Copies of this chain bind each other. A is one copy, B any other.
Amino acid sequence: MKASLWVANGQVVTTVGHSTSPQVGPALGEVLRYTDGHVLVDGDKILLVTDNYAQAKAMCDAQTEVVDATDRLVLPGYVDCHTHLSFAGWRDHELPLRLAGRSYLDILAAGGGIISTVQKTRAATPSALLATVLATLDTMLLHGTTTVEAKSGYGLNLETELKQLCVLREAGTRHPVEVVRTFMGAHALPPEYKNAREEYIAIILDQMLPQVAAEGLAEFCDCFCENKAFTIDECRSILLRAKALGLGAKVHADEITPLGGALLAAEVKAVSAEHLIHADREHLRAMAEAQVVAILLPATSFILQTAKRADVKSMLELGVAIAIATDYNPGTSPLPNMQLLQSFACFHYGLTPAQAFAASTINAAHAIGRAKDSGSLEVGKQADVIIQKAPTLDFVPYHLGVNLVESVIKRGKRVVNKGGCMYG
């Protein structure tokens, strides 16, 4: 069999052997490194990963596209497994208010916060939303993200939740970045149901979820399990209904208070639980047993300057699989860049560069049900490959503030080919 594309002579770094179960405990960050390696692609799939030049060359002919990766790092594309990328209404004007000490709840009361994004997202046309999503996907792709999870949840009514999901579906068909969709009607209680929360829950259960499932608009259902958002019981009913309809479950858990979302995630056998800053150690143990992936969002902690950090040490000890994601959204994480996210994971959360890498690739793929296809450079998987101008894996989180990605290959096609960092 001949290769259609040959990424040649690069420093190849990837996890191996974790397509069916994520890296946990001391295994997190175990990688294969070929100093002078080759990735061969056939169509949209990886044909071979080797450090044997002769073997690589023998699989190529005059038709093979050759991408020289000399002095470059060759990695699997980043998987950003938790974002809210379909929205209208940036909230940059709230930054000076927050820095001046105004609380999130003050800003919310003054018409800001998530509710302002909801209003603007409701008012936005699908084509305007689509343009924003496509532009964001461009930025993400240029920074090395080849697969992204994206949630609804700025609609909070049937029409707008569906609009968001349809826009995300359309974006995924038009853009090289693969978009995995999550329904999140339970992101916040809409203001018009302030005194009728049971009614809103009923709408989620009886209208939104069935229609989302029937139209195949989402693979997952997420909910914000938190004081001021939704209770454990409300989230349980939503997630169980979602599962009955064939969707996977996700939980925004224990971000601000130790409400017990992590335990709920274990109970309903969610695919993932996210944030987890206040998660109880015993609840983390339950997550490990139920094989729920922890998605950590260290950029959000940085931006909110949250003193408490997720309990990475316990997660490693107990065998909870750790993934990291940007949490890209207009309020608490306007950061689309998985390289800088790894810097936050290292400097702010204490992961090593190799752990942050695994958490951004194979474990992130597990967190959105894509580990069979994505997250590592292994034979038979999708050829999602990025080439970075960096001498070592450590260099990526270390050299923060510069886009090191030069080339991106998605499903075997070279979709970014430009200079990244200018360093010699």
By a beta-carbon cutoff of 8 Å, the part of chain A in contact with chain B is: 90, 92-93, 95-96, 99-100, 131-132, 134-136, 138-139, 142-143, 299, 302-303, 305, 334-337, 339-341, 346-348, 350-354, 391-392, 394-395, 397-403, 421-424
Contacts and interface: CB of A to CB of B under 8 A. Distances in A.
B391 A305 contact: no
Contacts of A352: 95-96, 99-100
Contacts of A353: 95-96, 99
Contacts of A138: 422
Contact of A302 (B143, B299, B347, B399): B347
A95 B424 contact: no
7 contacts: A95-B346, A135-B423, A302-B347, A335-B401, A337-B401, A339-B401, A341-B401
A-B complex: 8 closest residue pairs judged by Cβ atoms = A337-B401, A138-B422, A340-B401, A92-B394, A135-B424, A92-B398, A335-B401, A92-B395
A41 to B, nearest CB: 26
A135 B403 CA distance: 14
A322 B391 CA distance: 36
Contacts of A341: 401
A139 B421 contact: yes
Nearest to A326: B401
Given A336-B401, A400-B340, A348 B395 contact: no
Contacts of A90: 391, 395, 398-399
A215 to B, nearest CB: 27
A253 B131 CA distance: 49
Nearest to A307: B307
A352 to B, nearest CB: 5
Contacts of A134: 424
B394 A424 contact: no
A135 B96 contact: no
B392 A132 contact: no
Nearest to A137: B422
A393 B95 CA distance: 11
